[in-house]
Structure 1
Amino acid sequence: MRDTNNTREGDRNGSSKHQPQEAHMSLKLIDSCLRLSVIPLSVATIWLTVTIHQSNPDYGNLDYNSIMGLKYMVGVSAICGIYALLSTISSWVTNLVSKAWLFFVPDQVLAYLMTASVAGATEIVYLLNKGDKTVTWSEVCSSYPHFCSKLTIALGLHVFVLFSFLFLSVISAYRAFSVFDPPCDSQTNGNA
């Protein structure tokens, strides 16, 4: 009877050892998939934004160089795509994976950069569609509908990259801080 209890206890301990490793592998797979998804989304955002141009006989040409916020969006997309490629490759190098801080800091910084970029691009798309009558900025999309529709698609792809980096920042924060023990309650230590 005693041996069966030890065997059951050993099975429980053995299965509990496999659960963290399985959880670690699934987290690594999710991390890699998110990083890999950023690459084509960033490339598509850059390509759509850079190739946007439309001419109007009454108002002239409009392209992404005309709007500074779109240049920022292209720059941030390029940084995110390059980082995603490099971090995907390096995430499978075992020496670097153990250094959780190498992924934590850039993931956080890029999540903030993406938030600023999406906010700026959203404001641009809003102003192009609605205008701002208080500063006499009229809407542009009635004169440049092709430009606005492609820009809206590029913004949608950019938002998906933002969500990917938000999830990546949570995953990298979990990896970086899960190695530490939770803080002890001082009342618990005093009573023990």
Structure 2
Amino acid sequence: MSSSDSQKPVLKLVDSSLRLSVIPLSVATIWLTVTNKEDNSIYGEVKFSNFLGLKYMVCISAICAGYAFLAAVATWIRCLVTKAWLFFVSDQIIAYLMVTSGAAVMEIVHLAYNGDQKVTWSEACTSYGKFCNRMKVALILHAIVVCCFIVLAVISAYRVFSLFEPPLTSKDQLETERT
């Protein structure tokens, strides 16, 4: 058994573990975000549906959790998906979507904590502290999921590109031309 054959079960276990750990983290992100609301007697109620960026993160987290479940099942049932490139492309797409939704929420959190004095937006977290704290926790969970998908994208890239021979260097090419 070669060293790459002995690494495949470990790689498969790490891959499946990451995919399965992403599911509860994504569900927790969705739950924290969707149930997040706070009422202030002076300024009124704020809830997640008031922010397009939070809605986007909820949608992407739901897609991520569903994909992670299907991909985890597919890695153990060989007849469902045997194409490494399919995981590679899918993992890349999900990772990029997770990054974009995280960036949108990060901007909302930044504005909520700091405001924007140039356009006369004051910070809102002194009035809506509970809302801001839950949003921050949801963003942290989302960031952990992003990190998991970056690792998954690297694993799937390794699987795809290990199927091919490495390209010849100029030194190797000169040696093959001499013979």
Equivalence map 1:161-176=2 (5 Å): 161-176=145-160
Match of 1:40 in 2: 24
Q: Which residue of 2 aligns with 1:125?
A: 109
Is 1:52 the counterpart of 2:39? The answer is: no
Q: Does the aligned pair in 2 maintain the 1:96–1:102 contact within 8 Å? A: no
For residue 102 of structure 1, report the CA deviation from its aligned partner: 1.8
**Counterpart in 2 of 1:189?**
176
Partner of 2:66: 82
Q: 1:134-171 CA deviation, whole Å, 9 max, x = no partner?
A: 11111000000000000000000000000000000000
**Letter paired with 1:121:** V
2: CA distance, partners of 1:54 / 1:89 = 39
1:30 paired to 2:17: no
Shift of residue 101, structure 1, vs aligned partner: 1.2
State the AA in 2 paired with 1:189. T
TM-score w.r.t. length of structure 1: 0.88
Taking the aligned partners of 1:181 and 1:98, their CA distance within structure 2 comes to 20
For 1:184 and 1:18, locate their aligned partners in 2 and report how far apart those are by CA, in whole Å: 23
Residue 181 of structure 1 aligns to a residue whose secondary structure is: coil
Matching residue's letter, 1:80: C
Percent identical residues? 52
- In structure 2, the partner of 1:4 is none
Query: Which one-letter code corresponds to 1:46 in the other structure?
Result: I
For residues 106-117 of structure 1, the aligned pairs below 5 Å read 106-117=90-101
CA RMSD of aligned residues (A): 1.1
Unaligned runs of 5+ in 2: none
Q: Residue 91 of structure 1 aligns with which residue?
A: 75
Unaligned ranges ≥5, structure 1: 1-16
State the distance in 1 between where 2:73 and 2:128 align. Answer: 41
CA distance, structure 1, for counterparts of residue 82 and residue 44 of structure 2: 55
What is the DSSP-based 3-state SS (H/G/I as helix, E as strand, rest coil) of the residue aligned with 2:104? Answer: helix
Is 1:139–2:123 an aligned residue pair?
yes
SS in 2 for 1:140: coil
Task: Give secondary structure in 2 for the equivalent of 1:88.
Answer: helix
Worse-superposed segment, 92-101 or 105-114: 92-101
Q: Which runs of 4+ in 1 moved over 6 A?
A: none
SS in 1 for 2:79: helix
Aligned counterparts of 2:112 and 2:176: Cα–Cα separation in 1? 61
Aligned AA for 1:176?
A: V
Question: Do residues 180 (structure 1) and 167 (structure 2) align?
Answer: no
User: Which of these two proteins has the greater Rg computed from alpha carbons?
Assistant: 1
The whole-number CA distance in structure 2 between the counterparts of 1:96 and 1:181 is 26
Cα offset, 1:99, TM superposition? 1.2
Aligned residues of 1:34 and 1:168 also touching (Cα < 8 A)? yes
Aligned to 1:8: none
